[in-house]
């Protein structure tokens, strides 16, 4: 049914910032998305091009930021956009991460770090300790290191790269295993490539630790109608994108394995 957040609002991009050779952050004004919580997403209409789901990276005084990697036609088009470009916004959609107190650990891979930075900012004042493990292919792709360094007060930020150009040369799962065995955490949050999320889920399950993971799927309607983004019985756009360990157990046969393609057939993740 008609809701305020599902109505398209036209707004201008007010700022574009380059984060890495392949990632840019776009900032726009939107009253409703300005109240979004970490984990929620927007549907961004690029007139004449496409409409795509994007995780919210930050909200600040009505300003909303999304970090976008150039991976397809729509995102490559976005990378050519400048301040002043008109876009349409629907949202915020989906659920959000549940704030935990005590000792929390965030694990981000690639642009999956963006919504976790938003979460980290909100959690930093409320938690006893906040640790962050971030992984990327190479140094240039490690996002938001300076911001995270500030939030985690240095020693609780671990970075990894596959090629060893920065931080540890390994996947995020390697230091994560050591961390989980050495320290006690009250909540673990993750977002990133689904194969990574699946591996982290297996690690937290083995150790009986709580986990919240944000998932990504092909999305069309964003409001739970079209069924394009389902995993098991869940709609990622409406029941997610954040799922608990208990929910992930229910969809373990699809997590990191298959998703629906544009034609609704099952394809590898």
Partner 1 sequence: MESNLLGISFAGLSLENPTILASGILGYTAESLKRVAKGGAGAVVTKSIGASPRAGYPNPTVVQAEAGLLNAMGLPNPGIDVYSEEIKYAKTVLRVPLFVSVFGYSADEYASVASKAVEAGADAVELNVSCPHVKQTGAEIGQSPKFLSEVVEKTKAAVNKPLIVKLSPNVADITVLAQAAIEAGADALTAVNTLKAMAIDTETMMPILSNVKGGLSGPAIKPVALRCVFDIAEQFEVPIIGCGGITDWRDAVEFFLAGASAVEIGTAVADDDEVFRTICRGIETYLRKKHYGSVKEIVGLAHRK
> Site residues (CB under 8 A) for partner 1?
1-3, 6-8, 10, 43, 45, 47-48, 50-52, 86, 88, 90, 220-228, 230, 232-233, 235, 238, 260-265
Residue closer to partner 1 (CB basis): 103 or 220: 220
- Is 258 buried (19+), middle (13-18) or exposed (0-12) by CB count in 10 A? middle
Residue closer to partner 1 (CB basis): 8 or 207: 8
Residue closer to partner 1 (CB basis): 199 or 217: 217
Exposure letters 123-151 (e unless 16+ CB within 10 A, then b): beeebeebbbbbbbeeeebbbbbeebeeb
Residue 82 neighbours by CB distance under 10 Å? 8
Residue closer to partner 1 (CB basis): 80 or 225: 225
Closest CA to 28 of 58, 72, 73: 58
CB of 150 to partner 1, least distance (A): 36
CB of 114 to partner 1, least distance (A): 21
Residue closer to partner 1 (CB basis): 80 or 153: 80
CA angle at residue 213 from 225 to 124, to 5 degrees? 120
Residue closer to partner 1 (CB basis): 106 or 221: 221
CB of 233 to partner 1, least distance (A): 4
Q: Strand 103-109 relative to strand 129-136: parallel, antiparallel, unpaired?
A: parallel
CB of 17 to partner 1, least distance (A): 24
- Residue appearing with tokens 């109505």: 7
CB of 222 to partner 1, least distance (A): 7
CB of 115 to partner 1, least distance (A): 21
């Amino acid at each position: 049914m008609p809701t305020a957040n599902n109505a398209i609002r036209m707004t201008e991009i007010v700022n574009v910032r380059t984060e890495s050779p392949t990632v840019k952050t776009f900032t726009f004004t939107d009253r409703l998305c300005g109240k979004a919580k970490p984990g929620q997403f927007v549907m961004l209409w690029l007139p004449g091009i496409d409409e795509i789901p994007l995780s919210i990276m930050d909200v600040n005084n009505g300003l909303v930021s999304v970090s976008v990697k150039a991976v397809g036609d729509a995102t490559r088009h976005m990378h050519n956009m400048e301040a002043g470009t008109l876009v349409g916004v629907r949202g915020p959609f989906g659920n959000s991460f549940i704030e935990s107190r005590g000792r929390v650990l965030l694990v981000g891979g690639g642009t999956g770090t963006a919504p976790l930075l938003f979460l980290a900012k909100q959690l930093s004042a409320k938690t006893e300790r906040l640790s962050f493990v971030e992984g990327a292919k190479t140094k240039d792709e490690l996002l938001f290191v300076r911001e995270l360094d500030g939030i985690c007060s240095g020693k609780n930020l671990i970075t990894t790269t596959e090629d060893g150009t920065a931080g540890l040369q390994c996947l995020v799962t390697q230091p994560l295993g050591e961390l989980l065995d050495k320290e006690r955490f009250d909540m673990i949050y993750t977002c990133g490539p689904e194969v990574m999320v699946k591996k982290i889920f297996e690690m937290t399950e083995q150790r009986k630790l709580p986990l919240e993971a944000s998932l990504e799927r092909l999305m069309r309607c964003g409001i739970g109608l079209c069924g394009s983004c389902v995993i098991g019985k869940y709609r990622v756009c409406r029941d997610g994108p954040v799922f608990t360990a208990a929910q992930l157990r229910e969809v373990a046969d699809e997590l990191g394995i298959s998703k629906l393609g544009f034609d609704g057939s099952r394809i590898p993740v």
